[in-house]
């Protein structure tokens, strides 16, 4: 055998560089279980924000969103456990929703305790014609509310501008 090149053969074979390494494939879209966890967190955070706005209708909507956030978080966690995956945001949604529900229950309980005094105060204030009359209403009903809630005397004075 000779080292002579035959017809159709060329000199030493050089290997061309291979194609560049490809980029990793794009991430897969979130699964329904993963979306459920983030949905629970979103519902709970929005519900908590609406709960603290001074508009009564929005507080009720916030309460509903908090309940929905907790329920959605629990369902997402159960579904994730069943299919052996994660549900990011589900625990956060449950925790934020539970904290918000605790605030709501406390607010409802306090409102129920002082409902008569506060409604009498509102009636007095709506019939007041002058600033002095409004001040008299506060001087009459704030001590009653403080006694009912077992607060120190004068502790509601700093909130006079809110009511």
State yes or no: pLDDT of 18 exceeds 80.
no
Q: Taking all residues of the chain, what is their mean pLDDT, rounded to a whole number?
A: 85
The pLDDT score that the predictor gives to residue 63 is: 93
* Cβ pair 80, 37 in contact under 8 A: yes
Torsions phi, psi of 23, nearest 5? Answer: -70, 155
What pLDDT, in 10s, does the model give residues 30-81? 777 778 899 999 999 999 999 988 787 888 999 999 999 999 999 999 999 8
What pLDDT, in 10s, does the model give residues 132-147? 998 999 999 999 999 9
C-alpha atoms less than 13 angstroms from C-alpha of 144 in its C-beta half-sphere: 14
Least confident of 13-22, 32-41, 43-52, 153-162: 13-22
Residue % of the chain over a pLDDT of 70:
87
What pLDDT, in 10s, does the model give residues 77-95? 999 988 888 889 999 999 9
Q: Residue 76's closest CA among 63, 90, 62, 64?
A: 90
pTM for the model? 0.69
Does the CA dihedral 107-113-117-122 come out positive or negative?
Answer: positive
């Amino acid at each position: 055998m000779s080292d002579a090149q035959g017809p159709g053969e060329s000199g030493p074979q050089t290997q061309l560089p291979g194609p560049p390494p490809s980029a990793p494939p794009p991430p897969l879209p979130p699964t329904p279980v993963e979306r459920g966890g983030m949905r629970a967190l979103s519902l709970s955070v929005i519900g908590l924000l609406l709960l603290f706005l001074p508009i009564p209708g929005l507080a009720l909507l916030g309460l509903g969103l908090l309940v929905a956030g907790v329920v959605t978080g629990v369902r997402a966690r159960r579904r994730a456990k069943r299919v052996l995956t994660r549900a990011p945001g589900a625990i956060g949604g449950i925790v934020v929703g539970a904290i918000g529900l605790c605030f709501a229950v406390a607010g409802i309980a306090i409102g129920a305790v002082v409902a008569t005094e506060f409604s009498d105060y509102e009636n007095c204030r709506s019939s007041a014609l002058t600033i002095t009359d409004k001040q008299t209403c506060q001087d009459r009903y704030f001590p009653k509310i403080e006694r009912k809630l077992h607060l120190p005397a004068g502790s509601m004075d700093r909130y006079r501008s809110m009511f």
